[in-house]
Amino acid sequence: MQTKQRNMNRGAVLLFVIFSMLFFLLIGRIAYIQITGKAGGEVLAAQAEVKYLKQRVLEANRGSILDTNGEVIAEDTSSYTLFAVLDKKMKPNYVMDPEMTAKKLAKYIDMDEDEIYNRLTKDKVQVEFGSAGRDISHQVKREIEKMDLPGISFIRDTKRFYPNGVFASHLIGYVEKNYNEETKQTDTVGKLGIERFENSELKETDGYMKFDSDAWGLLLPNSKEQVQPPKNGHSVKLTIDKKIQTFMEDSMNKVQEEYKPKQIVAIVANPKTGEILAMGQRPSFHPKTRDGLESTWMNLAIEDNYEPGSTMKSFTLAAAVEEGKFNPNATYVTGTYKVPGGRSPSDHSGIPRGKRITFLEGLQRSSNVAFATLAMEQIGAEKFEEYLKKFGFDKPTGIDLPNEVGGKIVYKYKVEKVNTAFGQGTAVTPIQQVQAATALASDGQMKRPYVIKEITDPATGKTIRKTEPKIAGQPISAETAKKVREYLGTVITAEHGTGKKYKLKGYEVAGKTGTAEIVGSDGKYIKGSKENYMFSFLGMAPKENPTLVMYVAVKQPKLGATKVGADPLSEIFNPVMQNSLQYLNIKPANLNERDSVNIDDMTGKPAAKAVKLLSDKGYKPVVLGKGNTISDQSPKAGSVLLEGERIILRTTGELTAPDMKGWSLRDVMKVASLAQLDLNTSGSGYVTKQNLKPGSIIKEGEYCIVELQSPKAIQELNNKKESSKKTEVHD
């Protein structure tokens, strides 16, 4: 019994010792944790913060890119991805009736009802709807939500929105989203053009909100929130004018469709300031889809230099006039200019050889011999080289765009000097020619070209940076500039002038044509076809006091038997310059009143009376709204319009959508502007589809989505329909 008692005592002591050791070990552990704040090598406070301190990202928006009038060219906008929950375990939040759901969704997304039904009946937990279910606008999302379809929901995202589609794309650029390993976030990075050049200004900074939570993530009572507000990117306003750019895009589309050239480059500038009002090219690309980008990554206006051809004669002429060496009535003999020991350049086939004509006629006919004589024998080779540099052909202009290159003045040997005088051998960029032309179009002062008007903080409205016009030099006097414009005006009006096709209705044009040989991959000039040239025109209007300078070049167009290089060029220059001058309300000099008049102010007039007044003058009035009184109009009062142009009239009261089928993009823009609609376009040419039902009530801020097709594509579609009808009748 005693032995048993002793064993029990010993066991009790052992247990006491063990528990005492465990107790002191626990106390020691607690003390260690209290003192060091660590457990298992981890800082407990950090672990607790991870578990209970929650952080939510507050998204910021990338800065917007605007045109000179504040119209949006690129902006961040909310988009939504549509998805459907199919798992019945999620009852009642799953697709209960696939057939009904498919039928209703087909009205709002670009997918057939059968295809939607097939997706909704798959053996999956959740499905999306491909490209048809992505980038859904807030308006469409709202309409779908109104139907209260079980299992149908959305994921919110931010996308870069380019409402004008293919629109100065190489100038504007595009963005990509890249995952940042360091911050563990997705960054938006600008690629090409302004998106790249001003990425640091456009770049947004996301904010965050931190707060203490319980195990379920709910905000704890009396806990303090830490909020870092998001910082949106700065807004970049450009000198680009949306309307003038649209004129250019439309014209380039038509020429591309008809002549299929390898390249088109076009620039419109304000010679008084150097502002670039429009810049475009073909091939181009869609900034959202990148479709077409593989054709060329270069902004051809600033990144490509080539032999300009006879447009260079404008500056050879200016140098001769400035030096007092140009006598328009002096004569020379056409044919060939002899260069000892080198290739002797000749006049083109349109000039009779061996004939004595005046230097003014040589300008009008674009004689190489005339300008070789002026540069080498009148001005002098060294002095002429000074003028090349005064006009800025030896260096980049400094335009505020990435990757600009300069010219290459090839001026060592006599033959190179002679060739440079009429635009061969030496290579320059389109933007260099536009900069040089600003001296001819103004008072002899050459203006540096620029595209960024100002950068502002949208939160405060404060201007961060503003571009002021800058003089890049004064190669000639104001008197010389005026004389040169007079001489260049005869290129358009003279009997033998090469610029006859560039006449405008109501405006006098001064300009110079160009036809440059193209160097092939073997380093030799391409021969054997009237199409293997770079055709160009550098013009300005009105001649007396130019408001606009425009350069356009077309490379290797497909010319029919009756067509010449001036045809595709004039089909870009003429409508762009004509429409732009009218849009800017530049008063015509000699416009026939039967063809065009200043539009009256229709605001305040009865709608019926306004329609009759405009119809009687040969215009096409279109009324937006059910009201009886005109409240606004586009174009505005005082604009100079051609007969047959469409005029949009807004009435008081509710607005109604017009039938825009067959309209040009310019006319659609008038409607969007007056009704304050968010315009989104796809394609080019004339409207074939619109999302707004004709006659339906429309509200400000609503999306106006139109699809456009070229006349050729529309004709092909109509032919197919006719063919289909005939087949049906035959069957």
Which residues does the annotation mark as catalytic?
A: 310
**Strand segments (E) across 474-522:** 510-517
381: enclosing H helix or E strand: helix 381-390
- Per the listing, tokens 């910021």 go with 60
627 contacts 653 by C-beta, under 8 angstroms: yes
Q: Taking Cα atoms as reference points, which of 317, 426, 319 lies closest to residue 371?
A: 317
Task: Kindly report whether the peptide bond that precedes residue 328 is cis, defined as omega within 30 degrees of 0.
Answer: no
- With vertex at residue 636, the alpha carbon angle to CA 279 and CA 508, rounded to the nearest 5 degrees, is 55
411 contacts 384 by C-beta, under 8 angstroms: no
Q: How far apart are CA 239 and CA 269, in angstroms?
A: 9
Q: How far apart are CA 178 and CA 199, in angstroms?
A: 14
- Per the listing, tokens 């600033």 go with 302
Say how far residue 728 (Cα) sits from the centre of its chain. 45
Cβ neighbours for 397, distance < 8 A, ≥ 6 positions apart: 302, 404, 429, 431, 432, 435, 448, 449, 472
Element counts in the chain: helices (H) and strands (E):
21, 33
Q: How far apart are CA 46 and CA 312, in angstroms?
A: 71
CA dihedral 380, 381, 387, 392 (to 10 degrees): 170
* The two structure tokens encoding residue 567: 């045809």
CA dihedral 449, 392, 307, 367 (to 10 degrees): 110
Residue 239 is given by DSSP the state: S
Q: How far apart are CA 275 and CA 267, in angstroms?
A: 11
